[in-house]
Structure 1
Amino acid sequence: MSAKKAYPLRISAPVLEALQLWADDELRSLNAQIEYVLRDALRRAGRLPKPDQSGDASPGDEET
């Protein structure tokens, strides 16, 4: 498992509120939802490799 780093994030209140509602719908924490959205955007942009299809995905990589 890769190490996690803390990073302060400034985000507008409406965006944060929308992310919190989305996280609630997906049964994720707000932090996990932000990481999920960022990871998905990076994969789609070709800047992050897709998870291994053999079941070796990192925790939090599962899609719901």
Structure 2
Amino acid sequence: MKLNPIGPPTGYRRARRYASQMLELRSQGYTFEAIRETLADVGINVSNSTVQREVARLRQASTSRQP
């Protein structure tokens, strides 16, 4: 059986390219909801949990690089 998905791929992969900007907005005090709405304005529809996950992923990556 071959799977044939309906519709475009999910947004989280497309949102990754904006992860550093999401982290910057979060550090400026914007809520996850405000960041999600901003992504939706440019056509990237994701959930709040996706925004939270991407920000946390980038934070963890940046802290693990520092000695």
Q: Which has the higher contact order (CA 8 A, sep 6+)?
A: 2
TM-score by length of 2: 0.36
TM-score by length of 1: 0.37
| Structure 1 or 2: more helix by fraction | 2
